[in-house]
Amino acid sequence: MSISYPYKFSDWYGYDKDCAPLIGYPVTATNYSKPAFACYQSTSSATVYLTASNPVANSTIAYSNSGGTTFQGVGNWGVNVLGTQSNFRMTVGSNGVITLWQAC
């Protein structure tokens, strides 16, 4: 679609005004058997992309790619928000929904 000046309202039809960029954080490469095991682990090799900078359980979605097309795997992961190792733990359920987000 070409846009000509002046802009017409129809040029913006279908534009997603609520679209927000995903926020990337270093994440553990390992999926741990229990959430507590994900704390204080190395996060240098992978990134998780979240739909919120302040994640909320059962509301935030986690993706394994920056385009938001692949959900993070189901399981328990460590996330580095503040330092050099995982200082938050998250549990990801089906469809990338974070079911637990908790400081270590």
What are the C-alpha distances in Å from 35 to residues 5, 25, 46, 52, 68?
55, 17, 18, 20, 24
Summarize pLDDT for 42-78 with one digit per residue, the tens.
987 899 999 998 999 999 999 999 999 999 999 999 9
* 37 close to 93: Cβ distance less than 8 angstroms: no
Which class for 78: exposed (0-12), middle (13-18), buried (19 or more C-beta within 10 A)? buried
In this prediction, residue 9 has a pLDDT band, given cuts at 50, 70 and 90, of low
pTM: 0.79
Residue 59 CA from chain centroid, whole number: 11
